[in-house]
Amino acid sequence: MPETPSLTDRPALERYRDRALRMVEPALFLQHEAAAEVQERLTEVNRTFTAPAVISPFPEVWRPALPGAVHVPDTEVLALEQGAHDLVVHGLSLHWANDPVGQLVQCRRALRPDGLFIGVLFGGRTLQELRAALAEAEVRATGGLSPRVAPMGEIRDLGALLQRAGFALPVADSAARTVTYASPFHLMADLRAMGEANALSHRRKTPPPRRLFTDMAAIYADRYGTPDGRIPATFETIFLTGWAPDDSQPKPLRPGSAVARLADALRADEIALPDRAGPARD
């Protein structure tokens, strides 16, 4: 049986993350924002977590948000002990997973019954302006396209992954923010400082045409530039929340088991409508 091709070149991704950490000023502001948002969401959960774990390539960012948590590297096989945690947070790295469902399953297995999972990752609107400008410039320069920005999931699809992984009470929500830069080249420098450079397995390994990025910058500024001469970049952050199944959790009622009528709840009269058979309408 043929092996499924990998989306991510993991050795390259690790090099890019290490390079970001070696920089004098790594651009980890989105990591910090994600950690702060998770911390705020946990304050709204009426529970004290005593055995949390965090999966992240940047543990120093997440330590202040979750004191005492076990920090696990973002690898394909996670160093998580089965049933050891009451909270698992996957911290803004799941979008690079070659097997996202497998990552979620590993997280669920690491949870105790009724333990909480929170996953944070970039969503499909992330870098939508850069994607469009790069695609147009590359078609002009080469007549084709190559993978330059990682594909990222849409919120509906990502929410369905929670169910596939066996989580109860799954919820997915998103928030988008716009960051402005002096030019597309400043944006790409920030992506390198985030450890989010192009680590796709099938990225083009040969040098691009000289005009590619100058054309991209011109298209980007012309199509998306702001009145003050800057360019916007969208970052969509998706939050996935699910619980390890437990008998104490609320269960949906079986069809036909309702004990009250909807009309009574709405304080309305219930009217029986006659059957109307007729031709179908387009």
Q: Which of 116-125, 181-190, 266-275 has the lowest mean pLDDT?
A: 266-275
d(CA 34, CA 92) in angstroms, rounded, equals: 7
Q: What is the pLDDT of residues 8-63, one digit of tens each?
A: 999 999 999 999 999 988 999 999 999 999 999 999 998 999 999 999 999 999 99
d(CA 117, CA 49) in angstroms, rounded, equals: 12
DSSP-assigned states of every residue in the chain: -PPPPPSB-HHHHHHHHHHHHHSSS---HHHHHHHHHHHHHHHTSS---SSEEEE-S-HHHHTTTSTT-EEE---SS----TT-EEEEEEES-GGG-S-HHHHHHHHHHHEEEEEEEEEEEE-TTTTHHHHHHHHHHHHHHHSS----S-----HHHHHHHHHHTT-EEEEEEEEEEEEEESSHHHHHHHHHHHT-S--BTTS--SPPPTHHHHHHHHHHHHHH--TTS-EEEEEEEEEEEEE---TTS--PPPTT--SS-HHHHTT----PPPP-------
Domain 10-245 has CATH 3.40.47.10: no
Q: Are 159 and 240 in contact (CB under 8 A)?
A: yes
d(CA 279, CA 157) in angstroms, rounded, equals: 36
Q: What is the pLDDT of residues 232-254, one digit of tens each?
A: 999 999 999 999 998 888 776 56
Q: What is the pLDDT of residues 56-109, one digit of tens each?
A: 999 999 999 999 999 999 999 999 999 999 999 999 999 999 999 999 999 999
Q: CA–CA distance from 169 to each of 56, 165, 255 (Å)?
A: 24, 12, 18
Pairing status of strand 111-122 against strand 168-181:
unpaired
* Paired residues of 178 in beta bridges: 234
pLDDT-derived band at 275, boundaries 50, 70, 90: very low
d(CA 241, CA 31) in angstroms, rounded, equals: 18
Domain boundaries, the chain: 10-245
Taking 60 as the threshold, does the pLDDT of residue 273 lie above it? no
State residue 156's pLDDT score: 86
State residue 267's pLDDT score: 54
Token output for 107: 């997280």
The residues near 20 (Cβ < 8 Å, ≥ 6 apart) are: 26, 27, 28, 192, 193, 194, 195
Amino acid at 53: A
